[in-house]
Structure 1
Amino acid sequence: MKSFNPVVEKSFEFSIRIVKCYKYLIKKDTALRSLYNQLLDSGTSIGANISESQAAASKTDFRNKLRISLKEAYETEYWLKLFFKTEILEEKEYKSLLQNCLEIIRLLTSIIKNVKVI
């Protein structure tokens, strides 16, 4: 049985929220599908890369996978801000998703800084 890993769990839950947000947005306005796909891709890639890091071949590989996740998290933050500023996302949903995203960014930043590579 695997032990609880906050960044794995939080990123998975965030992915679920991003998929649900995507489904809502696509029903609301299909004309912006390509923009919504950007959010879906970056938002779900965070957790996918974190999961992949769990089977890393080395500490360097582990850290590199987490760096990719961090980049995806920053991209997701961008799309969330853009969607809020252009009135695609409502404030309540935006703030909630952004808070989750920023929490994942903080966790990833801390883990990356603390991984010792020899």
Structure 2
Amino acid sequence: MKQNLIYEKTFNFAIQIVNLYKHLSTQKKEFVLSKQLLRSGTSIGANVNEGIVAQSKKDFLSKMNIALKEAAETEYWINLLIATEYITESEVKLILNSCREINRILRKIVKTTKAQLEIDN
């Protein structure tokens, strides 16, 4: 697969999420919220990967929209874990910043793809 910025960012982000999940489940003994975080945080990259091999622009847009929703959900779980004091903001500052960056990139991808589809129709 050729280099793809959003794929690389979401893959590396998924690794960070898996490591955070390990920390939360083994050190903090938190299983419910961390499992939600694991599901949404790793789903972002999986959907981006599916979008890369999409059958059409509409299929691509659909996968990127799902990835965007998962990224928004992941940010929610991180903020909830901070608010409930399972983690501190300083502990997850890099992960939270990565999540917000991925959200911004995906919003731009979705917006640009929608505009291209409107031009094509």
User: If the length of structure 2 is used for normalisation, what is the TM-score?
Assistant: 0.91
Q: How much identity, in percent, do the aligned residues show?
A: 47
Shift of 1:95: 1.7
1:96-115 Cα offsets, whole Å, 9 max, x none, are 11100000001101111111
1:71 paired residue among 69, 72, 85: 69
1:56-76 Cα offsets, whole Å, 9 max, x none, are 010000000000000000000
Cα distance in 1 for residues equivalent to 2:99 and 2:71: 6
Which sits farther off after the overlay, 82-91 or 38-47? 82-91
Cα distance in 2 for residues equivalent to 1:23 and 1:75: 19
Give the ranges of 4+ consecutive aligned residues of structure 1 lying more than 2 Å apart after TM superposition.
none
Give 3-state SS (helix, strand or coil) of 2:92's partner: helix
Tell me what 1:3 maps to.
2
Tell me what 2:18 maps to.
19
8 Å CA contact 2:25–2:31 kept in 1: the answer is yes
Which sits farther off after the overlay, 90-99 or 39-48? 90-99
Tell me what 1:35 maps to.
33
Tell me what 1:49 maps to.
47
User: If the length of structure 1 is used for normalisation, what is the TM-score?
Assistant: 0.93
State the number of aligned residues.
Answer: 116
Letter in 2 for 1:114: T
8 Å CA contact 2:81–2:87 kept in 1: the answer is yes
Unaligned runs of 5+ in 1: none
RMSD, aligned CA = 1.0
Cα distance in 1 for residues equivalent to 2:49 and 2:96: 21
Tell me what 1:85 maps to.
83
Shift of 1:4: 2.0
Unaligned runs of 5+ in 2: none
